[in-house]
Chains A and B, each alone.
Chain A
Amino acid sequence: METLIILLIGILVTVATYLILSRNIIRVILGTAVFSHAVHLLILTMGDLKRGSVPLLKEAEAPYTDALPQALILTAIVISFAVTAFILVLAFRAYQEAGSDDLHELRGTNDE
């Protein structure tokens, strides 16, 4: 199972990297979203999969599955949501002000 998931993570990272390297700003943002999916899976996989029961002490029997990665991912999910929201708004405000969603065109002139 772990190997399979890691394979999936590899695919997700490849796709995400390719998207981030593109010129369209929405593709870049989507790339970051996919990237965070991959990372969440990776963190979870590092704590071993499907070993033990749900980490709820009263509801389930020991041994429990590793709860620490889950806590980390929960934080990561919320943060990545905040960041995605932020760059989305950044993107459309940049478009409104500069009239382009192409990162090459947004770069501006050479002399700075």
Chain B
Amino acid sequence: MFSVNFAIILPFIIAAFVPFIYRRFRFIHIGWFVMLVPITLFILLARLIPSVASGQTFTDTYQWIPTLDINFTTYLDGLSMIFGLLITGVGSLVILYSIFYLSTKESLQHFYVYLLLFMGAMLGVVFSDNLMVLYVFWELTSVSSFLLIAFWNHRKGSRLGAQKAMLITVSGGVAMLVGFIMLHTMTGTFSIREIISSISGFTDHALFMPAMILVLLGAFTKSAQFPFHIWLPDAMEAPTPVSAYLHSATMVKAGIYLVARFTPVFGGDQVWFWTVSIVGMITLFWGSFNAVKQTDLKALLAYSTISQLGLIMSLLGLGSVALHIGYSTESVIYTQATFAALFHMINHSTFKGALFMVVGIVDHGLGTRDIRRLGGLMALMPFTFTVAVIGSLSMAGLPPFNGFLSKEMFFAATVQISNADVFSLQTFGIVFPIVAWVASIFTFIYCMIFIFKTFLGPAQPEKLDKPIHEAPMGMLISPLILAAFVVGIFFFPNLLGNYILRPAMSSIYPTFGDAFNLTPSISAWHGVKPELLMTIGVVLVGAILYKILKKWKPIYGLFSQKYTFNTLYNNVLSLSEKGSGVVTRGYMTGFLKDYIAYIFGFFIIVVGGFLFYSGAFSMDISTNAPIRLYEVILVAVMAIAAFAMLFAKSRMTATLLNGVLGYSIAIFFVIFRAPDLALTQLVVESVTTALFLLAFSHLPDWKKEKTTIKTKWINGIISIAMGVLVMLIGLSVLNYNKFETISSYFEDAYELAGGANIVNAILGDFRGFDTMLEVVVLFIAGLGVYTMIKLKSEKGGDKE
């Protein structure tokens, strides 16, 4: 039986081997090997489609940290199935494409390791049932996305874009983590399934609302929703296969996944409905509005992706109304919004993936993706052009492509919601169809820009560095496959609806019984309805506006560049950098003495203060062991030796005095019945003294310390305070007998460990782990010494 855990782990395992294989078979493009991973997983997942479609789910648990309720539990249901198929399916195509996109001169082993890390992490996000595990994978997708965006790290734009994406998505992720912990506090479990089944008792809980907002923050940052969308255009610095994969088909959809997954938890709430729908709507409009003004093809697609993500997000918001109303024949109609969201998400992955690959082909072949330098590519790049037309028209929502179907359903959903009689939608609901319509007009316009400015019109070969030519066949395979899906889904939408979307619907609406009711039959023609009129309106108005684009384009100049979210981001970043610099420079003086003083001062204040305030100090000398005369003498010798060290004039004297201390302690070890310690101390003290003497041959003799009287006093006070404090603690602890001693356990050493020497049995057996690490520390210190001595900076070389 195929285990879902395996699906998550496989990419990580293969990633570990990629560098070795890369080194071994340099003559073969490593991508061919890597591609086997998503293909294998896709086939394995696809084989489960019939069982999932019949309502079956698969779980698999591996105990991880059971005491914290954190287990590696995977859960495969309809919703995660969609994402799993997208991740592995698009993943296979993208890797195939990247084999031709990236030449073997690039550091491919890095690229594919990152890509596999991402793939594993993304599968982890969608298959995890445990929220903590989900969070870990969630952040791992951010990290791998960072690495992939910065793949060409010699470019400044790449590094800044990667940083921006990382900062925004990770901070959203942390907010989400807090939300998860709140959910755990409320429900007492980290399992999503258990939370869903028990959440109805907690909707009035004080943490319900904060948890919802925080989880949404995570989803919105990841899915580039307004106002967090600013990272996505900058992330386009990544190689195009990465943009196609992470930043349009999969990673940005993790937020969508999260919202869909949590719809059964928070979905019935009014705040959820309004936040998700409104943020989605704003994103939809703002993305498509801004896409029109872009001159870089990839930036255009980035804003288009933002806008489409907003569309899906808002649909999920609209669909959550059904949960508020509860299951009834009337409320089922609102679930169609959710259905449309899932449907459009799949469609978007197909056409947007194809479009990104087209841009990659243009960029790769001609060396630019600036639409001011392009034009007239149609005749010379017929295949690329075909894919571009199919993708763009689908994106614009025209038949006979899958975008038309989902766009129509989107319009229908907005119209229906404006008639609903909850959440005062009869008054405000009219906003939704209007915004949807306006945004779709802009969508139409940028789709036209994409086709006409790139492929039609006059060719401008003089502005290009390379002659116009068709891409190699290998590069065209993936976009052609995706384009075939775009058309295929239009003609057979219900295949998708019944096998893929229906089980997902029952995951989102678990209380709605048989998902059969929730799956509308998708058809291209359903009579003259508002949605069809809206589409016709979009095409007419869009065509006119595209024609007169030059006339109204100055409108974009009205938006000042001073007050954008990007400026805000940059200011916050530079301010916090400066601020932390000032703070750090304030106390990091570079003097060891200061740092030591901080540590000791803190110790004295906190521990001493606690000792004082809690009244923990106690002293009782009645239980003391008797004192012999020679012991007093030994103590006196040590005290004198210690004080003499302070005033030693030469380092040799000081070292020998330290030796006196060490050997005296060895004698104490004998007195205190610790023969092992005494032996060790004797040998160590000898070797240490030898080390000091060896080191002295390399060091200058002591000079008189140039310390001021004031520093001496301060040092003296700190030292005495430390000494007194340690004494007080020691005395108090000695009289502290709250717990039973654990040492009696070790007295069974002979039976438990077969050793009569208890100390040795503890070291070798009971606490063998400590000893092992100790040996490692010793070894590291030895290596450190060796390398420090052998690694001398080259003569005349600059010291860094």
Contact = CB atoms under 8 A, between A and B. Distances in A.
Q: Direct A–B touching in the complex (beta carbon < 8 Å)?
A: yes
Contacts of A97: 793, 799
Contacts of B621: 2-3
Nearest to A106: B592
Contacts of B762: 67-68, 71
Contact of A96 (B677, B698, B715, B722): B698
Contacts of B626: 1, 50
Contact of A70 (B726, B730, B742, B759): B759
Nearest to A58: B756
Contacts of B727: 6-7, 9-10, 13
A9 B777 CA distance: 27
B778 A78 contact: yes
B759 A55 contact: yes
A74 B669 CA distance: 11
B469 interface: no
Contacts of A88: 691-692, 695
Contact of A89 (B687, B716, B774, B789): B789
A62 B75 CA distance: 58
B473 interface: no
B733 A21 contact: no
Most buried by B among A10, A53, A101: A10
A67 B705 contact: no
B600 interface: yes
Given A89-B789, A108-B590, A8 B638 contact: yes
A74 B763 contact: yes
Interface in B440-498: none
B334 to A, nearest CB: 61
A28 B592 contact: yes
Contacts of B702: 24, 26
A11 B640 CA distance: 10
Given A50-B625, A95-B700, A13 B743 contact: no
B687 A81 contact: yes
* Among A34, A41, A44, A71, residue most surrounded by chain B Cβ atoms (within 10 Å): A71
Interface string B640-664: 0011011000010011001001100
Contacts of B658: 30, 33-34
Contact of A8 (B639, B680, B688): B639
Given A17-B722, A64-B747, A77 B673 contact: no
Contacts of B40: none
Nearest to A25: B699
Contacts, number: 261
A85 B646 CA distance: 22
Contacts of A55: 673-674, 757-759
Given A1-B625, A78-B774, A82-B778, A66 B743 contact: yes
Contacts of A82: 777-778, 781-782
A17 B600 contact: yes
A9 B726 contact: yes
Nearest to B696: A26
Given A6-B734, A19-B646, A1 B593 contact: no
A65 B625 CA distance: 13
Max chain B Cβ within 10 angstroms of own Cβ: one of A28, A75, A91, A97:
A75
A49 B672 contact: yes
Contacts of B696: 26
B688 A81 contact: yes
Given A6-B727, A50-B671, A67 B635 contact: no
Contacts of B741: 66
Given A21-B597, A22-B707, A86 B785 contact: yes
A95 B699 contact: yes
Contacts of B778: 78-79, 82
Given A6-B727, A89-B788, A95-B699, A77 B681 contact: yes
B684 A81 contact: yes
B665 interface: yes
17 contacts: A1-B631, A2-B621, A3-B731, A6-B727, A8-B638, A9-B730, A14-B719, A17-B600, A23-B706, A37-B662, A44-B672, A65-B674, A67-B758, A68-B762, A70-B676, A86-B781, A93-B789
7 nearest A-B pairs in the assembled complex, by CB-CB distance? A14-B723, A10-B727, A82-B781, A67-B758, A17-B719, A71-B762, A92-B698
Given A3-B624, A46-B730, 7 more contacts: A18-B716, A56-B757, A67-B743, A68-B762, A70-B674, A77-B684, A96-B792
